[in-house]
Structure 1
Amino acid sequence: MGIAGIALRAGAKSSVATLWPVIDQGAALTITELYGQLKIPGISKAQAVQNTQKLMIKHPDFNHPAFWAAFVLIGSSI
């Protein structure tokens, strides 16, 4: 589980990890958007990840799955 697993073992309720190495520009945009989604009242963590992936799919420069599909939510999705 890598660093995400360490975060969970340290007491985090959830963590975001990648399944493979990602390109910095796409990762920065993905994480920035994810945190923006998490600020929206009533949206679960799982919904925030899904919304972020949908937005990345629509992005002209980062719509390839290599940019957004690597991100997974581990732990509580609430």
Structure 2
Amino acid sequence: EFLPGVASTSYIQLWGDEQIKLDQIREFGWNEPAVELLVLSACRTAFGDKNAELGFAGLAVAAGVKSALASIWYVSDEGTLGLMTEFYTHLNNAKIKAEALRQAQLAMLRGKVVITKGELRGSGTRRAVVLPSVLANIQYDNLSHPYYWAGFTLVGSPW
């Protein structure tokens, strides 16, 4: 949750009760050696204010991360699942991270990524991903609307 003003009030919620506060990001040593890609798939992780213009993503890049993938609005969990799975599939083949994101977003726009019958199906040759039983009844056979994929951006180096 990014809250304008004091950096210690903004945080990323991790598993359990653990949080990363906005003012702690520089302490992680992400530039020794440099982290190539930090994926912040939670809501509004590229949203900031005058003190942190690109929120968590911008501060991560300022702290030494080469590229950060983040969102600028509240995102759908189902759409994010589809986009991130598709992004990682394309990342294996793309030389440029920004191109992998573009390919994933195009696949979603074209309706090639769906959640149906307890499986996530993508555009590539990768087999369908079987979802856990708690997600088995989710049906998103149309994730083409920009709401599901357009909120993500790559900050920092596109390579």
Q: Which has the higher helix share?
A: 1
The aligned amino acid for 1:61 is N
Unaligned runs of 5+ in 1: none
2:72 aligns with one of 14, 19, 25: 19
Q: Percent identity?
A: 39
Helix, strand or coil: the match of 2:105?
A: helix
Q: Which has the higher strand share?
A: 2
Q: Contact 1:37–1:52 at 8 Å: present in 2 too?
A: yes
CA RMSD of aligned residues (A): 1.3
Unaligned runs of 5+ in 2: 1-53, 112-140
TM-score, scaled to structure 1: 0.88
Query: Higher relative contact order by CA 8 Å / sep ≥ 6: 1 or 2?
Result: 1
Which residue is equivalent to 2:89? Answer: 36
The count of residues paired between Structure 1 and Structure 2 equals: 77
Compute the displacement of 1:10 (Å).
Answer: 2.5
Q: Contact 1:4–1:17 at 8 Å: present in 2 too?
A: yes
Larger radius of gyration: 2
In 2, Cα distance between equivalents of 1:10 and 1:29: 29
Helix, strand or coil: the match of 1:6?
A: helix
